[in-house]
Amino acid sequence: MNNQKQQKPTLSGQRFKTRKRDEKERFDPTQFQDCIIQGLTETGTDLEAVAKFLDASGAKLDYRRYAETLFDILVAGGMLGGTLADDMMRTDVCVFAAQEDLETMQAFAQVFNKLIRRYKYLEKGFEDEVKKLLLFLKGFSESERNKLAMLTGVLLANGTLNASILNSLYNENLVKEGVSAAFAVKLFKSWINEKDINAVAASLRKVSMDNRLMELFPANKQSVEHFTKYFTEAGLKELSEYVRNQQTIGARKELQKELQEQMSRGDPFKDIILYVKEEMKKNNIPEPVVIGIIWSSVMSTVEWNKKEELVAEQAIKHLKQYSPLLAAFTTQGQSELTLLLKIQEYCYDNIHFMKAFQKIVVLFYKAEVLSEEPILKWYKDAHVAKGKSVFLEQMKKFVEWLKNAEEESESEAEEGD
């Protein structure tokens, strides 16, 4: 017979069980959700009161562990990502149940802003939440998507969110079904409304997103024309113009890079000219812009002598060789004037070239890269301030000679008549 007495539970054992039960409630997402929803139900739609409730609850509830649940409730009224039980608590104090207007979304943005400022550790959890919501866009109604887009735009504008969250919009299925582009319209409208296109562009540049906006469309529609038409018709002309400019800048950089490679390989000028003309046509780059790119490319292919007395001779020899290439893209007066200004700026910015300006202009005149009319216009009033007194003095005699030659040719023409 076993005479051992059965041990009674000790007081400390009971405390341990109670503590375990409390911890289960504290670390149970359903319990957490119920606490938040109950509090939101009590505050109602007064978003000031909602912000105060969330601020106070952070001291009692584990926001760090349940950040996803917290943000699911504030956006959608309850936990997302699974099948919700019929008896699971929900709340209408959330983004998706609110009015579909910018003013309401601005007020909700303040709730998130205050919450994340108070509990800084929620910042990453919130970014992860928004990335997830963007991937789930197809599961939301059009109205819910519109509200989320407006909210996201405001949060991007006030710095609560980083523009890298937009990566989620490049999801293949969202792009294919047109969800990404439609969402982007609402998002950019609210973002630009809060800031301006320059601030938006700066944020996109920071995360290397400034050249990716056309990826909001399927591959067969990724053209500047399609993007411009779509967003201009949606009332976002400034965004359309920004993307067009970005595309142009990208094309110009690519042209300069390829030109430098062709020159360093010593490709024949006829091949280079053909390539440049094709790029001009394809990317709608005007000739005055192209001549500036060619000048920069030509001048960057040489290691210039540091001695002033030698660099002029070196420059003349080098530029004489490239004159046929430059001449092919100075068929307009504006192109010639652009080249003259580029030469002026280059000679001023590179001090060893200060005395070479006139020699370069005379060389280009003789090689028919430049003609008298643009040279005279530059001399009279089209020059820039950089080193103008030095360069005008250098050009004085040549300009006088040009004027005399022009007068003589005019008088000869009159005699011929």
Q: What is the pLDDT along the chain (417 residues), one digit of tens a residue?
A: 444 444 444 444 444 444 444 454 455 788 899 999 999 999 998 999 999 999 999 999 999 999 999 999 999 998 785 444 445 678 999 999 999 999 999 999 999 999 999 999 999 999 999 999 999 999 999 999 999 999 999 999 999 999 999 999 999 999 999 999 999 999 999 999 999 999 999 999 999 998 899 999 999 999 889 999 999 999 999 999 999 888 888 889 999 999 999 999 999 999 999 999 999 998 888 999 999 999 999 999 889 988 888 899 999 999 999 999 999 999 999 999 999 999 999 999 999 999 999 999 999 999 999 999 999 999 999 999 999 999 999 999 999 999 887 666 655 555 555
User: What is the per-residue pLDDT across 275-330, written as a single tens digit (0 to 9) for each?
Assistant: 999 999 988 889 999 999 999 999 998 899 888 888 999 999 999 999 999 999 99
Distance CA 66, CA 60 (A): 12
> What's the full length of the chain, in residues?
417
Buried b (16+ CB within 10 A) or exposed e, 6-26: eeeeeeeeeeeeeeeeeeeee
| Secondary structure (H, E, C), 186-252 | HHHHHHHHHCCHHHHHHHHHHCCCCCCHHHHCCHHHCCHHHHHHHHHHCCCHHHHHHHHHHHHHHHH
Tokens of 160: 């609560």
Q: Which helix H or strand E contains 20, and what residues bound it?
A: helix 11-26
399-412-402 Cα angle (round to 5)? 5
Question: d(Cα 353, Cα 365) in Å, to the nearest integer?
Answer: 18
- Give residue 385's identity as a one-letter amino acid code: A
Block residue for tokens 């022009």: 406
Q: 0.75 cut: is pTM over it?
A: no
pLDDT at 416: 56
Give me the pLDDT at residue 282, please: 86
Identify whether the C-beta of residue 342 lies closer than 8 Å to the C-beta of residue 389. no
Token digits for 294? 């060619």
**pLDDT score recorded for residue 4:** 47
Separation CA 94–CA 112 (nearest Å) = 11
For all residues of the chain together, what is the average pLDDT?
89
Q: DSSP states of 42-101 as a string?
A: HHTT-HHHHHHHHHHHTTTS-TTTTHHHHHHHHHHSS--SSPPPTTS---S-STTTS-SS
Q: Summarize pLDDT for 183-239 with one digit per residue, the tens.
A: 999 999 999 999 999 999 999 999 999 889 999 999 999 988 999 999 999 999 999
Instruction: Give the contacts of 3 (CB within 8 A, at least 6 positions apart).
Output: none
CA distance 91 to 36: 9
> Could you tell me if 140 and 148 are in contact, meaning their C-beta atoms sit under 8 angstroms apart?
yes
| Residue 6: per-residue pLDDT | 46
* Beta-carbon contacts of residue 88 (< 8 Å; ≥ 6 apart): 30, 33, 78, 79
Q: Hey, where are the domains in the chain?
A: 29-204, 286-406
Q: What are residue 54's phi and psi, to 5 degrees? A: -65, -35
pLDDT given for residue 415 in this prediction: 56
Q: Which two tokens stand for residue 131?
A: 């990335």
Topology of domain 286-406, CATH: 1.25.40
Encoding tokens for residue 204?
Answer: 């996109």
The whole-angstrom separation of Cα 360 and Cα 366 is 10
Angle CA(405)–CA(406)–CA(411) in degrees, nearest 5?
95
Nearest to 109 by CA among 187, 30, 25: 187
3-state secondary structure of 2: coil
pLDDT at residue number 205? 93
